[in-house]
Each structure stands twice: as C-alpha cells, then as structure tokens.
Amino acid sequence: MPQPDSSLLSRIVHQSLRHRGVVIALAILAAGYGAFSLANARYDVFPEFAAKQIEIQTEAPGLSPEQVEQLVTQKIESAVNGAEGLTGMRSSSVQGLSLVTLIFGGRGDVYHDRQLVVERLAGVPSSLPAGAGTPVMTPLTSSTGDLMTIGITSDKLSLVDLRSLADWTIKPRLLAVTGIAKVGVYGGLIREIRVDVDPAALVRYDVAIDDVLAAASRATGVVGAGFIDTPNQRIVLQTQGQAVSADAVAATIVKHDPIASVRLRDVARVSDSAKPPFSAASVMGKPAVVMNLWTQYGANTIETTDAVDAALAELHPMLKHSGVALDATLFRASKFIETATHNIRVSLILGGILVIVVLFLFLGHFRSAIISCSAIPLSLLVAVTVLQQFGYTLNTMTLGGLAIAIGEVVDDAVIGIENILRRLRERGTGLTLHERLSVILYASVEVRSAVIYATFAVIAVFFPILTMSGLSGKLFAPMGVAYIAAILASLVVAISVTPALALILSRGHDAMEQPRPMIVKLREHYESLLERMERRRVIVMIVAVILTVAGLAAVFFLPTQFLPELREAHYLAHFELMPGTSIQESSRIGDIATKKLLELPYVRTVAQRVGRAEADDVFGPQSSEIEIDLKPVSGKVAKVAAGEIEEKLADVPGAAVAIETFLTERINETISGYTTPVVANVFGNDLDALDEAAPRVAETIAKVPGAADVRLESPPGTPLLLVKLKPEALALHGVDPTTALEAVRTAYQGAEAGQIFEGARVTAITVAIDARARTSPADVGDLPIRAATGVFVRLRDVAEVGVTNGRADVRHEAGKRVQTIAMNVSGGTTPSQLVAKARQALAGVALPAGIYVQFSGSAEEEARSRRDLLLHSLVAAVGIALLLWIVLGNARNLLLIAVNLPFALIGGVLALLATRQPLSIGATVGFVTLFGITLRNSIMMLSHYEHLVEQEGETWGEHAAVRGASERLVPILMTSIVTALGLLPLALAADSPGREIEGPMAIVILGGLITSTVLNLLVLPTLALRFGKFGASQLRD
C-alpha cells in the first residue's frame, strides 16, 4: 500500500479525519449559510445580458428630422465618438427629438463610461441651435428593464384630469420607489393654457405674434423681490401678481392705446385646454392613461415589483374615491420570472428526489446512502453561496448549471464512499478506530488523484463557454460558473466531509454492510457480457465506427437556431401604419385589433400605446404597440395562442404587424437594436438615394422564402410642408429671416410663454395659431408677419410654401446614415438560412453608387457564437490533452479517449432528431456538457486500470480489464442514471416557461448519456484491452 500522507491531498484528508467534528460543524455552518443565501437570493429570468448602453436624448422643438440630424445628432455623435471602450453607436432623429445610443464593451464600470460621456458632452450645448435642450443621459436600466405596465381608466374624469393624476400623483410616487429608473406615460391629454392667436385679429389690431408671446410671458412671470433689514430682523419680500387662470391671462394687455388698450382676448382665444397629443392609450378598448415602468440597473425585479405594489396600495383609496380604476397586471416581468424559476426549482426538486431514490437502491443501506445524499445539497448550497458572493442572480441559466452538475456531484460522493465500502469489506471485522481511519484515508486518496485531474479537465471543457463573446457569453457564462462552482465545491466536500462522515458512521461496526444482491447480480451479468464482447471485439469496433459516422453525418440534417421561442404568455404586437398617419387613426386601428383579440379565449387583457412618451422614445404617431397578456396556460397552449393571435391580426386593414414575446424582443434589441431576429442595414450618404434603394431591397427580401413581416423601420413618404424663404422678397419687404422663421415656429410648433404654478403642479402657457386657422397647408401661407417698417406681409410673400415628401426618422449606425429593414422568419427557416438566401437574392439587384447592405441580428450573433466556440474549443483541447497526458502518461491511452469521444455524442444528435429540436445555442452547450461527462468517466476508467496494474499488481489482460470495468460499473451507472433523472423533468417539459433553453440542453445530455454509458462500460474496456498500455507509473498525485 502506498504512503498516502506523502501528498498534499492525503494531508488534507488526514486532517479532515482527525478533526472530523470540526469538519462536520463547518459543513453544517456552510449548509446553513447556503440555505440563507438561497432564501435571500436575487431571482431573475436571465443573467444581465445587454451590453453597457448609454442613451442621450436631446429635445429640439420645431426642428424637422433632417434638421435634428444635422444640427443636433451629428454634433453629439462627433463629440462622443472615439470614447474609451465605445464599440457601437446608433441614433435616431425624429421631429423635435434626437436619440443617440452608445454601446460600450469590456467589463469596465458603466458609471465610469457615463462619466466619460459627460465630459465629452460638456461643450455640446453651446453649439446647438437656439431652442434646443441640453443633451441628457437617460437613467440606467437593466437588460429586461421593462418592469410592468399600468393602466388607469375612469368613467368620471376627463382625459385631461386622468393625465394630470398620472403625471402629478401616481408618477412621482412610483419614481420614489427604490429600484425604479423611469416612468413613461402614454395617453390622456396634458393640461395647458392655450393662447390660440387669430391671424386676422393680428392685422386688425396691428399686433405681431411675438407681441402676443411677450404679453403672455409678462402675465405669468415670477420675479424675486429681495428683502429688507430692520434693526433686529431680516424680512423677505414676496410678490404676487402672476396670472393663474385662463381668464386672468386673457385680460393681459398686449398693446397700450389711449382710447382702448388691446388685450390678449382681443387677438386670441385663451382657454384652459390641452396640448396637442403625441401619444394615446387604451385598455381593453377604453381610452386610458398607460404607464410603463423601468427598473434601475442591477435592481431586483421581484423586490421592486413588490415595492411598486405597496406604493399602489397606498394610492388605492384615493383612486377609488376619484372614480379611477387601476390595472397593474397589463404586463409584469416578475410573473414570468416567478413562473420560470418555479418550474426550474420544481425540476431540480423532482430530480433530487429521484437521485436520492437511486442512491438508496444502488448503495443498499442507510448509512452509506446518507453520506452520499448529504454531499449533494451541501455542494449545491456552497455553490449558491459562491454565486451570491460574486454577484450572480439565481436565474434559469445558473439554476441550469447546478442541475447539470448534479451528476458530477453525485459521482464525487459515490466514487469516494463506494471505494471506502470496498476497502472496509476487504479488511474484514474487528477494526479499531485507528485502523478504520487508515483504511478510509487510503481509500479516499486512492481515487482522488484521478478525480482531481478529471475535474480540471471538465473545467477546461467549459472554458469555451466562459469565454464566449456577445450575448451568448453573457447568457451562458453564468451557467458555466455555476457548474464549475458546484463541481469544485463537490470536490472539496469529497476530500473532507465524505471521509469524516464515513469514519463517524462506521463507528461501532466491524465493517460496512455487504453490497446488495442486485448489485452482485448486475456485476456478474456485466462481466459475462464484457467477456463475450471481447471475443467479438472486431464487430464491436465496426459497429462503433458506423454509429459514429452516422451520428456525425446526422448533425448536418439538424436545423439551427440561436435561441428557442420563449413561452412567456405575454406578447407585444407592433403596428406600423403609413407615414404621416395621425394618432386618431392609429388609435382606431388599435381598437379594431383589440376587439379581434378579445374574441380569443386565451386573452386576459389588451392594452395599446400609440406614439411616444415625453422624452422617452422616438416612435411617431404611425407606430403603436399592443400588449397582449394571456390567461395562465401551458407552454403548448401558449404556442397555439400565438398562432391564433397572428391570424387575428393578419387582416387588420392598412397595418404592418410584427408579434414578439417581451424577452425575445429584448434579446433581439440587445443584438441589433431592433425587435426582430434579422435586420438588413442599407448604408449610404445620400438620403434620397437611400430612400430609393431601401424599398427595392425590402421588396426583394420579401420574396425570399422564409422571410416574414418585412418592413422598413423608417419608410420615406412622410408628408412635409416646406417653407423656403426667398432672400430677394425678404429684402424687398424689410423682413428679417430670423423674424420670419420664429413667427412660423411660434405659430405652428407653439412657444411656451410661461408657467402657472399650483402647488406641485405646473401648467404651461403656450402661444400658437388658432387650430381653426391651420386646417390646410394653404393656411400656412396666410400667416401675417410684421416687417421692420411696421407693415404686415403674408408668409407667402417672402417664402415658397409647398407640400412635398419628407422623412419621419433619419437613422445612423456607427455614424453613417442607414435605412433599416426588419424581418421575422417563418416556415421553419432559421435566421442564418434567411440571411444566406437574402444575400443571394440581392446579388442581382443594382443599387445606386455608394449604397451597400449589411445584415445583423441573431443570425450574425449565432455565427459569431459558433466561431467563438470553435476557436476556444481548440484552445481548451490543447489544455485537456496536456491534462490527459499527465494523468494517463502515454499517447496510446490519450488517443483511446480522443477517438471514442465522438461516439458518446451520437445520442445527443439522435435525441435532437427524435424530438425535432433545432441545434440551438442551448443544445450546443448540452454537447459541451456531455463531452465533459464522458471525458470524466473515461479518465476514471483508464486511471483505475492503471491503479490495478501499478498499485495492486494486476497483469494487464482480460481479467484486469473486466475487473476494472466491473469495479467502475456502479459509479458510472449511478452517475449516468442520477444525471439523467435529475435532468428528466427539464427535458419532459422543454416547452414550459423557464425551460426553453435548458430543455434542449437536457435532451442532448439525456440522449448522449445513453451512448456515453455504452461507450464507457462496453466499448472503452474492449478497446483498452486491445490498444491500451498500463503499468508505467503514469498516474501522479
């Protein structure tokens, strides 16, 4: 027997046995802290998967999209371009608003990135046009930052009062909730004091529109009055004189006259009214105000949801008294999180119960089963603690990593306790405490050297997953971390807690119980089968080669997919109407869609948002979203419901409709900035050339089989009324260009003259041309402008006024102008296949000079992920080969494992074919996991052969091959069965919420375990007997 105390490993085991009471106490403490960490863990659907993003919004009232692009967006892009760590930049310029999105790479601090942007933006405001706001960075939000959608309706309150309630009561209360980053408000009407100027009255009373603006501003001005000092105190002066009502504003003097002064009411209609809306909303077809809540970066979704619910509960009595109905269930991210994590937890618990049953069946007696069973939760709880300490949430990916680690965790426990049992039985009865300690020490160290190498080999297998870039890396790396944390924790438990428990539970017994008769019989039949296979080893090798080739060939028949459909039971339907469509028309179309959707028995609620929230996004009135929340349904029913929703919305008149689940949309937005899986970007410098080329590209792609919902994100053709000043006419009439332009802006954009303050509420006073004088494009030319001589001229006298086609949105990608074509896939076509077909179709399309097309989206992400996996797998293969050389010691045994690994993967391929699952990233990770399991079992088998020959004096031959395989039979079977049973609930409910990614992964592992077990128990011993080489002192501690 070797001297185990000569190595670090044996010293650790020896100290654990000597201080077994301390080890058990520490194990209990670790388990307790792990349980505490589990109870207080942050739960989420996915890890934080979005790259670090910073959004810069700049208001530019009155400017057209092209003016916003040239005067605002380009200046901001120039200022921030080249910032440290900046990897991407896109922008959108719409009427009155610029939105620039910056994407930063690396693992640096996002707050440092924001500071860099702040410094670069410092000089931008001074270069922006008059009236433009200061560039503002929006609050940080998480990947799945959309927390919930809330709708309020009322039969008593007007839309103005309903919006005021949302803006000044509900929104401030929600923003005070810890974890809320922003609240976007849609619909209703924003109250304002309107000064609607009568153009004819301006001429009649000889008053310019800027005089009206100045008068309204004077009426609402607030001026500080200072203070006075008396001998013993200072007294603050406060003045009151601000007009606080429409009537008071109307009485303001515009022009003094000895006979009769001109007041605002003489030249304008002053009313307590509402701003022209840029959004609308409805709930269940009823006009409403809808609020969209976003969480702060790093906030706990479930805790924040609970805090919001508590805040709304405080407001409930007031809302009920006001006759307001509030629905906070239109969309709740926590609903899917709770469902998904519940399903994963149920799968783990069911798997755990099955694992315990198998352990008791195989080990045959209570005490040894208890030792193994205690190692499993202890290892997983320690892994949970590690994940918590490193800032990982418990999500479908980290929980999936723990699930697939169960097999290795059990294997660690079983290998140790099974070898201890065998060695104790060999020593017989009457052992003293010291003798039992020596036997357990030797038995533990005997198998652990190979286990340690096998563990590090498996970690090396996961290296490609840990180093994947982009979205795939952010999604799957936490799963790899969870897996590695679990097997390292298991290794620590196996060399400390398991030996200590074995020594304690063997106290008072001469030897542990004999193996169950079932195990004895199983080994006898297995040994007989091995002997027969050895006599037919040529046939065995031929069958193995045929199956391997067939399995590898079958890979090419598997459809590929980046991510599977997510069963969220909540859908977003995006509606795009013709450019220039009004908010009223978009709302009408939404009402039609709502009625159709409510006919479906699966639909619980329907809510529509039209246009954009203030300073929130860049959607025009032609764009709207309908949120469709389903009743509680299974994954299969949700899939059926999605199909029927598409059918209902397919025939909505005049609308291009795209339907996605919330998380799928967020993932697609993270990849490309758009909500569809495939995006074609048409680049060019000339906007007219882009507008001519992009529809042709879209039309070509729409004809490609598998392309669905093909649409231009910013189609040309938006109605535009162009006012072009004539310099000669301006000079002739004595009109300053700025005066003319400001008159147009005030008349049609409206100019804020001041504000009325009523407690915390602020109401704007806006001056604009009366709506009755702006009903047609021809009215614009009649706008009166006062020349420097005091004479009024019409706008048409100094400018050309005509209707033309404009653009609703000018977009940039990486600082270059772009027209974006978004599309979905259908008919079983994968994004990668669609991109390949589209490129082939576009090869024959002649595009204007300087115009070119690039594709982005999940197809590009999928290709990049597979490239990363391949490259990093080659690096990992080198590391694994070095480890195998150390543990096996010769090239023949190393090659023996290498040539057999493909055979183990066949089952995974066949399982995907049988269940009609595509080769997704989740399935690919399943193959990586299967590779690690097979590698570990193969290392353990060959290492055990080496141990028999070198340590126990066996002569290498058929007897040694059969004995070694027979002694590894129970650990291999238990590992395979336990892993399979642990993953079985995931595989059987692969379509359920939360299991969509792990489901295919579990299917691959389950199928692969069959061929992997056959490999390790039947094929590998046969090949090892024929080609293996053992007995040269190759295994090292």
When pLDDT is cut at 50, 70 and 90, the band that residue 515 belongs to is: low
Which pTM does this prediction carry?
0.77
Higher pLDDT, 72 or 860: 72
CA atoms of 459 and 457, how far apart (whole Å): 5
| Beta carbons of 879 and 886 less than 8 angstroms apart | no
Lowest-confidence pick of 268-277, 344-353, 963-972: 344-353
DSSP secondary structure letters along 33-55: HHHHHHHT--B-SS---SPEEEE
Assess whether pLDDT exceeds 50 at residue 1033. Answer: no
Assess whether pLDDT exceeds 70 at residue 516. Answer: no
Lowest-confidence pick of 231-235, 509-513, 604-608: 509-513
DSSP secondary structure letters along 616-652: T----TTEEEEEEEEPS--HHHHHHHHHHHHHHHHT-
For residue 712, the model assigns a pLDDT of: 86
Assess whether pLDDT exceeds 50 at residue 1034. Answer: no
Q: For 464-507, what is the HEC assignment?
A: HHHCCCHHHHHHHHHHHHHHHHHHHHHHHHHHHHHHHHHHHHCC
Assess whether pLDDT exceeds 60 at residue 5. Answer: no
Assess whether pLDDT exceeds 90 at residue 284. Answer: yes
- Name 473's Cβ contacts closer than 8 Å, sequence gap at least 6: 466, 467, 865, 868
Higher pLDDT, 613 or 982: 613
Mean pLDDT of 195-203: 91
For residue 143, the model assigns a pLDDT of: 66
pLDDT, one tens digit per residue, over 373-404 is 788 889 889 999 999 888 888 887 888 788 77
CATH of domain 41-138: 3.30.70.1430
For residue 507, the model assigns a pLDDT of: 63
Mean pLDDT of 59-84: 90
Mean pLDDT of 307-327: 94
For residue 1036, the model assigns a pLDDT of: 41
Task: Say how far residue 209 (Cα) sits from the centre of its chain.
Answer: 51
pLDDT, one tens digit per residue, over 448-471 is 777 888 888 888 888 888 887 777
In 3-state terms, what secondary structure has residue 325?
strand
When pLDDT is cut at 50, 70 and 90, the band that residue 589 belongs to is: very high
Average pLDDT of the chain, as a whole number:
84
List the 289-296 sheet strands across, edge first: 180-187, 289-296, 141-154, 324-332
pLDDT, one tens digit per residue, over 840-873 is 999 888 888 889 999 987 777 777 777 887 888 8
pLDDT, one tens digit per residue, over 919-978 is 777 787 788 778 888 888 888 888 888 888 887 888 888 888 888 888 888 878 877 887
When pLDDT is cut at 50, 70 and 90, the band that residue 76 belongs to is: very high
CA atoms of 14 and 336, how far apart (whole Å): 49
For residue 166, the model assigns a pLDDT of: 94
Assess whether pLDDT exceeds 60 at residue 512. Answer: no
Lowest-confidence pick of 307-321, 408-422, 999-1013: 408-422
Mean pLDDT of 338-347: 73
Assess whether pLDDT exceeds 90 at residue 760. Answer: no
Between helix 396-427 and helix 470-505 the angle, nearest 10°, is 30
For residue 919, the model assigns a pLDDT of: 78
Query: What is the token pair recorded at 983?
Result: 């993953």
CA atoms of 603 and 237, how far apart (whole Å): 61
Higher pLDDT, 98 or 353: 98
Mean pLDDT of 620-639: 84
When pLDDT is cut at 50, 70 and 90, the band that residue 610 belongs to is: very high
Assess whether pLDDT exceeds 90 at residue 161. Answer: yes
- The answer for 214, left when phi > 0, alpha when psi is -120 to 50, beta otherwise, is alpha
Assess whether pLDDT exceeds 90 at residue 327. Answer: yes
- Name 215's Cβ contacts closer than 8 Å, sequence gap at least 6: 252, 253, 254, 264
**Other Cβ atoms closer than 10 A to 898:** 16
When pLDDT is cut at 50, 70 and 90, the band that residue 510 belongs to is: very low
The reply to whether 192-274+719-807 shares the fold of 1-17+364-514 is no
pLDDT, one tens digit per residue, over 103-134 is 887 767 888 889 999 999 998 999 999 888 89
In 3-state terms, what secondary structure has residue 916?
coil
Lowest-confidence pick of 3-12, 453-462, 803-812: 3-12
State which fold the 192-274+719-807 domain adopts. Answer: 3.30.2090
Would you kindly state where each structural domain of the chain is located, as residue ranges?
1-17+364-514, 41-138, 192-274+719-807, 516-557+889-1037
For residue 293, the model assigns a pLDDT of: 93
User: Residue 689: what are its φ and ψ, rounded to 5°?
Assistant: -65, -40
Higher pLDDT, 408 or 289: 289
Mean pLDDT of 671-676: 70
For residue 1032, the model assigns a pLDDT of: 55
Instruction: Look at residues 420, 36, 10 and name the one whose alpha carbon lies nearest to residue 28.
Output: 36
Tell me the CATH number of domain 1-17+364-514, given options 3.40.50.10420, 3.50.50.60, 1.20.1640.10, 1.10.1760.20: 1.20.1640.10
Most confident option among 292-306, 352-366, 918-932: 292-306
Q: Is 516-557+889-1037 a domain of CATH 1.20.1640.10?
A: yes
Could you list the beta-strand ranges (E) of 831-949. Answer: 852-857
CA atoms of 144 and 400, how far apart (whole Å): 19
Query: What is the token pair recorded at 36?
Result: 């505490």
In 3-state terms, what secondary structure has residue 278?
coil
